[in-house]
């Protein structure tokens, strides 16, 4: 099979979860990821043990006129590259996981008569998946809210597959504990605004004599600045540019602070961890805020809008949880109820039916 798409960990990780489900059921399955060849994509797929090939393709959304024109000129080349890959690999089925690199490959697959399915992670789908839904045999969605965005195709609510390391969830939060442990991250690419907001909040808490344990995943681009700020402000914490074992970070955390990508939402649900979510401003159709609301409505999270927020506001929210362990435990239980542990299994079952294979 071919899994096409990427750009961010949020697109790739569900594809990896589906790929691993196929491998676990059918050890001889040959899986190829086709991406745009970003460094982050290569790192993630190398760690997961999957082969990767790249297309000459660029994104269009949010680009200037010249960049858009250059990207459009590359589309025919990426389609020819996709056709060549499909002829050589001869896949039984193609899964598109979103991101601009999935477009040419899925279109090429449809032109060659290969079954094509897509998975949408977010509550509001990206433009690539909205277009591909018109030619896909199945459209798998993570949030019920996204159903109305697809004009055609067989649409199935599966949730967002999480990687094997999150299966089984985490131990419930301890009823009694000393200092609060906070896990903060801006996602696979980091987030300067989240890092700065948390640094300011941690400074406020330090001035008030509150010293939580901190696991701070900064992202590579902001690591040196954040590390320098910790030293300059006299703050303490585990500061790291990348986390290999995300499960361990969630396990140690009493509360999570970060963005509201779909992958994060379903990881939090799988692990049963309460959170303060700071949606990315300007995300396509404000989908991160919509993602966050799925947990907020369940009682498993609170949301802080980045616009107008400052360190004092975030510090007040954190200190409120610091004084109410029962609330944290209740939020963790509510979050856990939103988990979709069988998402990868359901997607693979449907894919097997499409290619005439017993789901097993």
Give φ, ψ of 156 to 5 degrees.
-125, 130
* pTM of the predicted structure, to 2 decimals: 0.87
Task: Report the pLDDT value the prediction gives residue 64, as an integer from 0 to 100.
Answer: 58
Rg (CA), the chain: 21
pLDDT attached to residue 325: 87
Q: How far apart are the first and last CA of the chain?
A: 17
Look at residue 171 in the predicted model and tell me its pLDDT.
Answer: 85
DSSP 8-state code for residue 161: -
pLDDT per 10-residue tile (average), the chain, 360 residues: 87 94 93 90 91 78 58 76 96 93 93 96 89 94 91 88 86 81 80 94 96 94 94 96 90 95 93 95 82 94 94 95 90 93 95 86
Burial 80-118 (b: 16+ CB within 10 A, else e): ebbbebbeebebbbbbbbbbbbbbbbbbbbbeeebbbbb
Core vs surface per residue 248-275: b (16+ CB within 10 A) or e: ebbeebbbbbbbbbbbbbbbbbbbbbbb
Distance of CA 132 to the CA centre of its chain: 20
* C-alpha–C-alpha distance, residues 190 and 194, integer Å: 8
Give the pairing type, strands 94-96 and 275-277: unpaired
Backbone angles phi, psi at 35, to 5 degrees: -130, -175
| Angle at 204 (CA atoms; ends 199, 205), nearest 5 degrees | 95
CB atoms within 10 A of CB 79: 18
Alpha helices in 90-167 (DSSP H): 102-111, 127-132
CA 325 – CA 331 distance, rounded (Å): 10
Q: Can you give the pLDDT at residue 68? A: 55
Give me the domains of the chain, ranges plus CATH numbers: 2-163+341-354 (3.40.50.2000), 181-336 (3.40.50.2000)
Alpha-carbon gap, residue 290 to 243, rounded angstroms = 26
């Amino acid at each position: 099979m071919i899994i096409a798409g990427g750009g961010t960990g949020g697109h790739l990780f569900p594809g990896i979860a589906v790929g691993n489900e196929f491998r676990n059921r059918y050890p001889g399955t040959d899986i190829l990821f086709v991406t745009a060849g970003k460094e982050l994509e290569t790192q993630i797929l190398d760690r997961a043990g999957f082969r990767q090939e790249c297309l000459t393709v660029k994104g269009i959304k949010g680009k200037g006129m010249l960049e858009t024109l250059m990207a459009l000129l590359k589309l025919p080349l990426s389609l020819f590259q996709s056709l060549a890959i499909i002829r050589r690999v001869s896949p039984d089925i193609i899964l598109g996981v979103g991101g601009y690199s999935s477009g040419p490959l899925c279109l090429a697959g449809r032109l060659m008569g290969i079954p094509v399915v897509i998975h949408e992670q977010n509550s509001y789908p990206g433009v690539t998946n909205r277009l591909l839904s018109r030619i896909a045999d199945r459209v798998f969605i993570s949030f019920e809210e996204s159903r109305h965005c697809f004009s055609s195709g067989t649409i199935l609510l599966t949730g967002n597959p999480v990687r094997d390391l999150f299966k089984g969830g985490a131990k419930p939060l301890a009823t009694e504990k000393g200092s609060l442990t906070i896990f903060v991250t801006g996602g696979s690419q980091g987030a300067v605004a989240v890092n700065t907001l948390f640094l300011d909040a941690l400074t406020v808490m330090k001035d008030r004599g509150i010293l939580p344990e901190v696991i701070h995943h900064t992202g590579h681009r902001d690591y040196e600045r954040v590390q320098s700020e910790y030293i300059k402000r006299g703050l303490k914490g585990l500061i790291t540019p990348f986390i290999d074992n995300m499960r361990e970070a969630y396990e140690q955390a009493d509360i999570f602070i970060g963005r509201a990508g779909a992958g994060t939402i379903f990881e939090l649900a799988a692990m049963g961890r309460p959170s303060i979510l700071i949606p990315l401003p300007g995300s396509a159709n404000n989908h991160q805020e919509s993602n966050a609301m799925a947990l907020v409505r369940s009682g498993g999270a609170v949301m802080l809008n980045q616009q107008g927020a400052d360190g004092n506001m975030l510090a007040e929210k954190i200190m409120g949880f610091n004084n109410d362990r029962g609330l944290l435990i209740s939020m963790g239980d509510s979050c856990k109820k939103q988990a979709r542990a069988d998402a990868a299994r359901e997607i693979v079952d449907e894919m097997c039916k499409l290619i005439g294979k017993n789901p097993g």
